[in-house]
Structure 1
Amino acid sequence: MKEYRLFSWNVNGIRAVSGKEVLPGVLFHDFLKTEKPDILCLQETKVDSHTIPSDLTRIPGYFFYLNPAERKGYSGVAMYSRTEPESVEYGGLGKEFDTEGRLITARFPEFTIMNVYFPNGGASDERLAFKLRFYDSFLEKIIKMSAAGERIIFCGDVNTAHTPIDLARPKENEQVSGFMPIEREWIDRVIQAGFFDSFRLFSQEKDQYSWWDYKTRARTRNVGWRIDYFFINEAMKSFITGAGIRQDIMGSDHCPVTLTAAFPE
């Protein structure tokens, strides 16, 4: 069997996390050596090709891909892969969205993986509307890809908790962006379109969160939200062997989420 270990992580600035201890005695630079993921998808990298340190783009044993936002120090996604993809696409949702550097799509023989940093809708009504338009454009794209027979994995910071089990204080946050009914309904539509929240295929546990507010030191009390996901389509489902949340990994206000898959050789 050919096995894949996939990680997805909103690092809240790749330069910021690069000098931090993410596991006891392990800096971010050594994280890839220690954990050895086959693919590591990062969101909110906040760099471009001119501002990212070269040692982060040349980690031995990994190919590196970066899709930055046009705006400096904002948004952006990156991907490390032990295997060179057959193809890599940057963006692809239209000019309105692609300027923010929110999507990398990499195709491998076994599957297509999409690394996505979905917008945050909390800043204003305009940004919430932008987030919902991004949601609709992305869903339209993956429905077409799935109908064409692709085995799809999409991962990243979705910026919405799906159900009350996915955040510590659901009642208090019903009208807060990230848990508003209109945002949660989009995840319902993703599932209705034949996609699966991989973590919930393996666990219905409470208190499983991937983001905690820095300002209130919420992580020490585990007052969090599960807003980072790996979704898979029906064609991919039979190859998934596990999914998890790595709350032991520090360095950001998010922790990584994981997916494992195995394919006959």
Structure 2
Amino acid sequence: MLKSTYRNYIYAATAMVFALLISCDNNDAEIKHYSAQVVADDATLKTDKYKLITVFSTDNGTTFVDYPNLKKGQTYQVKVVHRTDDGDVDVKPSELGFHLDWSSSNPKPNGATDGQMAEFTMQESNDIVVVIASHVCSYNATDWAGAWGAKETGSGVGGTDNNTLTQDETDPNKYTMDNFFGDEVEASITFASSPSKYWDQVVTLPKQTTSEGGVASGSGYYDSCLGTFYIDVTYVIGGKTYSWNYSFTRP
């Protein structure tokens, strides 16, 4: 039986989960090492990394368990689930916008190296690695112009304000919003272009003084596939400091 020291919980985004192989027929001498590693650094799921779990099947993916009975030379299937209070949710590339890559495993998967599930053959030494990355769509600098709903979430703020973004005439990645803080003042933001990974999609609100005399700054991330973005903002005005999450979606 394959048992995980930490019940397959990922305790760091690139941490390794080590497993103990306990056989009912003295197979310990044949299987000396097993580990399962989930790498989620470039996926939105990294914020819930402690609940990413590898589960195993010995019936071609019909049923999955945490601790299967396995012998050297036996084939088995592995997939990643997000374990929630309501049960396990499959990390499906097609439905959730993720790419799963098993190619760093040793031994290699039997057949395809990407996809929701991979098949392996148990060896004497086994290191299973699955890399989860959120999809990144093509970046287009003109996509951010126009009307937005800007939702404020934080202490002392709230509600969703109408906000219009206007593209800068000289820097296509720079925009000016016309209703910052719901006060009908302008503030500029800049999108990082040509992202290759999900967390390269940075949007910045450089430190600046608004027309009402407040000092604003912040940074966050955009999603080129969903066409949304957010900024964690700090605004100092009138002797007070406001901090909030600014989430932008199309009205």
Normalising by structure 1, we get a TM-score of: 0.22
Give the structure with the larger helix fraction.
Answer: 1
Higher Cα Rg, which structure: 2
* Greater relative contact order (CA < 8 Å, ≥ 6 in sequence): 1
TM-score (norm 2): 0.22
Which of the two has greater strand per residue? 2
